[in-house]
Structure 1
């Protein structure tokens, strides 16, 4: 597992996006129940045993309780997949079942005393930093019982949190952030570099490119089965959004503001899922506005979906048999949509696709011309550099005028922010006097040569390490935990709706 973590080290220090669960009473929606055949319906296999809807429901009930007890690490770390709330809840439940299995194998089994002591230490039950039995009893009477929970349910959630803490601590202890990796990342971001850049602009190659009718016909004949119009869809959308003032709230306060919206969205979704044909009527009865889209493609969403591209992708996940979506959570609220029409893609005629084909052939020819020119230039440069000629002089001898920007760092690029972003996105990491392969940008292709690096300020690095290492190590640990989950899920089995790819 640690080898796998090391292989992904380039991404280990990036900021990860974690799904924040807005918890409230939720039961598996009717559409999901029908698809799985009711509570006893099988969802998939985990470590060889069949997992049913009922198994998932039992776990999902604990989400509300865990959230109210402030067990955010448990909820966030075990929610690794899903665009919709239903899929996120399934992801959490499945991962928790896996965690229980792994905890047993690793002998991380909370005792009754450990569970009791952990409950007494919960902030909700404290007065002057001491366990307050009255607060504990009030929580049982006012929070648990009205929502159908018992003291045993509290014990179960606390036990799960202890399992999570124990197992993840083992992962953390086995994979601390190496100081060498931390320093390497600092150097990549802060070390100033001197570059020479040869740029091949696509526009310089395109004017001379000609495309004959015969080439267009040949391309069409070879690809006509895949030259299709894009599928179009129409949807109806009901939104449950924060007000403009609420959108400006800090994230912690936004969660509370979104809770009533989530409850409204969930209530509406349940009714709509039970009777999709009455989607508009249900919305009208509940006082919600229904917005209808025009036909749109996934690449060009209708204006009613343009606020978030994920909504268009969600629309293309719907089917005629299951036209109503789950509640979809986005930063500013919740959405429920219904698929109303599908305009299937269809083959395009030669006349309809001619402009598209000409543009594609021109692009292919331009790129081929650039690659040929770059190969020729690099061969000449390499020959000259073997004679002791500098890269810049060798490039000029080959007929190119390389750009030589002022030394800059990725984190402080100055006027070179576009080049710095390009290098970061393409993972350009060069040693002094090393030359990159040909890299494609939006309108050009580049060859980047590293002339040299300036040494970092060791004192500034020491100060940075002192203030930031703990935070970066915490991020590393979180990604290590997700990597551990990914590996264990590959072995144990994942819900079929998520396929067999990587987690997260």
Structure 2
């Protein structure tokens, strides 16, 4: 690879990024493990993608066809075990598979553009070395040429891909790893930084919490007609009925016996089902085609749902989130879906009824409005009370009062939590013993007390619908015979997380430099 220009360019970018985040880097990432990728990586407007144009970047349109072709590479990368590569290019996409695909497509386009700009060109031997190490092609003795050949013959064709696409992905992975290495060149962890964060992460925290719930503040809240009218006028656009759909569908699935098949045999059966599903959708494109009649010709039983909403799909469609989502993409003009692949076959949907959303009248919306106002006001009262209690306790401790007495005087009921460390390691439980149930808001509590000294009181912290005040009673220094090993592993974790932050923000900045625009419908 030609690395001189690339190294110089990336080093400048890396130093800028580290300077920007040097103050809070460690506690957010290494200690509290907040999912930083959701902040650092730009998320396009997925809902605004238009059918003919996927996005606009690098002064050109990215067509849906091009995006779909790249999207198939995501499936291929997952199939051959390129998990770290996939995680890198889909960071920030969450759990929604459509968002995962969109993020992968955009970041792969960015990566390829930047690799070309930086002159990163992996050699054929480098690519071959990585291919031989891919998990999908391994057996007990290492690289298995038979597994590779079988995958090329039987795994790539159904995806419309060839052997060259494996090489392309490996080339991409080598490039992203080289960029990651160059970005990491100046990243270090000082002894002071390591010691401070290691102690904070592994010391034992003894904490009590005072919990607040909005339901405790609902008594006495009244909502009059004027309140309802004001809320209605301000939120008319949001106060609508739920959109509903009703569909017929056919399922082309594996038999109970066929679900036990693996490898080539399973692929062959699924391919036949795919061909049959495609033939049915082609038949439905004919003028005047009737869904039931077409299904009968293919000897497929037609099932029918009741009315359902996007939030609560019909029980017959709950097995896969794609099915309910696909139903809401259908219209009177395009009532039939394409084949929808699930784990054991394919579905084809046909729209039979649609109740579009409409604005609620004031009377229809009133129960929702009253509930919303009461919730909002009770949360406000809860937050106000929480802040008042914090001030009372802090003033009391400043004047020399015992904290326990001050809490009692404030009318609060503290809950003593089991001791914990900010970094908890999984422990094997003896047979028959249930693992201890952790507080649902433990992560938020850890964040609240991370920088407190013994005897100090946190601010009031909202947590979901409720809130809490945390009191750090004492902090017990970490003592472990294996501290040396843990510290070395911890240092590696800090370095890894620093490197990830720099890489993810580099990707985000490169997206911006590309002039990324999602297409508006």
Length-normalised TM-score, structure 2: 0.67
The unaligned stretches of length 5 or more in structure 1 are 18-33, 37-41, 500-504
Aligned residue number for residue 57 of structure 2: 46
Alignment of 1:416-495 (within 5 A): 417-418=438-439, 420-421=441-442, 423=444, 429-432=450-453, 433-441=455-463, 444-465=466-487, 481-494=503-516
Alignment pair present for 1:209 and 2:221: yes
Query: Paired residue for 2:399?
Result: 387
Which of residues 355, 370, 385 in structure 1 aligns to 2:367? 355
Q: Residue 372 of structure 1: CA displacement?
A: 3.5
2:357 matched to which residue of 1? 345
How far off is 1:456 after superposition?
2.0
1:163 aligned partner? 175
Partner of 2:244: 232
Distance 1:271 1:178 in 2: 64
- What is the SS of the residue equivalent to 2:473? strand
Which has the larger displacement, 237-246 or 427-436? 237-246
Specify the alignment match of 1:367 in structure 2. 379
CA RMSD of aligned residues (A): 5.4
State the shift of 1:45 in Å: 3.4
Among 404, 409, 420, the residue aligned to 1:397: 409
Determine helix, strand or coil for the equivalent of 1:385: helix
SS of 2:406 mapped into structure 1? helix
The alignment covers a number of residue pairs equal to 473
| Contact persistence 2:208–2:470 (CA under 8 A) | yes
Counterpart Cα distance in 2 of 1:345 and 1:146: 39
> Do the aligned residues in 1 keep the contact of 2:198 with 2:490 (CA within 8 Å)?
no
Q: What is the CA–CA distance in structure 1 between the aligned matches of 2:509 and 2:108, rounded to whole Å?
A: 15
**1:267-312 alpha-carbon deviations (Å, 9 max, x no partner):** 4665566546665566555565554332222333322233455654
**1:454 Cα deviation after fit:** 1.8
**What is the distance in 1 between the residues matched to 2:336 and 2:405?**
64
Distance 1:390 1:309 in 2: 55
| Contact 2:390–2:460 under 8 Å retained in 1 | no
CA 1:333–1:462 in structure 2 vs 1: closer, same or farther (change >3 Å)? Answer: farther
SS at match of 1:418: coil
Once the two structures are superposed, the pairs formed by residues 86-485 of structure 1 within 5 Å of their partners are 92-111=104-123, 159-171=171-183, 173=185, 191-217=203-229, 219-220=231-232, 223-224=235-236, 226-237=238-249, 259=267, 263=271, 267=275, 270=278, 275=284, 290-307=302-319, 311-313=323-325, 315-316=327-328, 337-409=349-421, 411=424, 417-418=438-439, 420-421=441-442, 423=444, 429-432=450-453, 433-441=455-463, 444-465=466-487, 481-485=503-507
- Distance in 2 (CA, whole Å) between partners of 1:139 and 1:44 is 32
When structure 1 is superposed on structure 2, of 163-172 and 191-200 the one drifting more is 163-172
Structure 1 residues 208 and 234, CA, compared in 2 at 3 Å: closer, same or farther? same
Residue of structure 2 in register with 1:23 after alignment: none
Relative to structure 1, the CA distance from residue 306 to residue 106 in structure 2 (aligned partners, 3 Å threshold; closer, same or farther) is: same
Q: Return closer, same or farther for 1:258/1:106 CA change in 2, 3 Å cut-off.
A: farther
For CA contacts below 8 A with separation 6 or more, give which structure has more relative contact order: 2
Conservation of the 8 A alpha-carbon contact between 1:192 and 1:407? yes
SS at structure 1 position matched to 2:308: coil
2 CA distance for matches of 1:256 and 1:138? 8
1:387, CA displacement in angstroms?
A: 1.0
- Partners of 2:331 and 2:351 within 8 A in 1: yes
CA 1:426/1:150 → structure 2, altered by over 3 Å: closer, same or farther?
Answer: closer
User: Which stretch of structure 1 is more off in the superposition, 8-17 or 198-207?
Assistant: 8-17
- The match for 2:4 is none
In 1: Cα distance, 2:400 partner to 2:72 partner: 71
TM-score (norm 1): 0.68
- Alpha-carbon separation, structure 2, partners of 1:338 and 1:200: 49
Deviates more, 1:309-318 or 1:350-359: 309-318
In structure 1, the residue corresponding to 2:212 is in which secondary structure?
Answer: strand
